[in-house]
Amino acid sequence: MVTDQKACLGRDFFWVLEEAIKGGVDLVQIREKELFERDFITKAQRAKEICAKYNVPLIVNDSLSVAKAVNANGVHIGQSDSSMDIAKELLGENFPVGLSIEKLHQLESSGASKAWYYGVSPVFSTPTKTDTITEWGLEGIQSIKRITNKPLVAIGNIKIDNAKQVIEAGADCLAVVSAICSAESPEEAAASIRNEIEKAILT
Ligand code: TZP
Ligand code: MG
């Protein structure tokens, strides 16, 4: 899952996070757009403690300094964030860095080959993030899959109804925001999505 404070609909952020993990979320990216660095670090530290309790890795979105401060398990960068080279310089050559791919040619950029995984962004357009370019669709996942062997993390309007199709199209991981964070029961929502993933893998 990818966190979003607003998508938690006024409920306690850490409650939503822990419920989601109890439901089966096995990788968390903390994404904060409105916090000062110091507050982001404090929040990420607590999120990391909750994740660690369940052996779930925590990836920090965008901020190399926050990723470093909390000794995160990875950092995720978008096309308009820091470059791969700066990330590697600050965090070390072996630090896991994920990269969002919004257009096919970005797979050929100098930093792309150093990414641990690619974020296919967005698979479907979404009200959660409106400044996006391509809507990859299921065909987009298939075309990226043909070009690279790196793990593909699909993001953008992924929910119970389409989770199975997205995995069948070639995604290795689903990054879900509102379908979990805004669900009445984040635990049940995560469990249902996980169930769809398992169905896709088994059939
Ligand atoms: N990057 C591409 S789409 C997106 C991000 C952060 C938001 C996805 O949110 P949701 O609610 O799962 O559609
Ligand atoms: Mg970004």
Q: Kindly report the pTM of this predicted structure.
A: 0.97
Residue 1 in any domain: the answer is no
ipTM, 2 dp:
0.97
Structure-token pair, residue 144? 């990226």
Catalytic residue among 129, 145, 182, 194: 129
pLDDT over 90, % of the chain: 97
Give the separation between CA 41 and CA 66, rounded to whole angstroms.
6
Relative to the CA of 181, which ligand 1 atom is closest?
Answer: 11
Residue 108 in any domain: the answer is yes
Segments in the chain below pLDDT 70: none
The count of structural domains within the chain is 1
| 119-159 residue pLDDT tens | 999 999 999 999 998 899 999 999 999 999 999 999 999 99
Q: Domain limits at 70?
A: 6-202
| Beta strands across the sheet bearing 58-61 | 28-30, 58-61, 74-77, 97-101, 117-120, 152-155, 173-175
Residue 40 in any domain: the answer is yes
Residue 75 in any domain: the answer is yes
Side chain identity at residue 43, one-letter code:
K
DSSP structure class, residue 129: B
Out of 106, 123, 129, 159, mutate this one to test ligand 1's pocket (max ligand atoms within 8 Å of CB): namely 129
The CATH number for 60's domain is 3.20.20.70
Expressed in angstroms and rounded, the spacing between residue 202 Cα and the centre of ligand 2 is 33
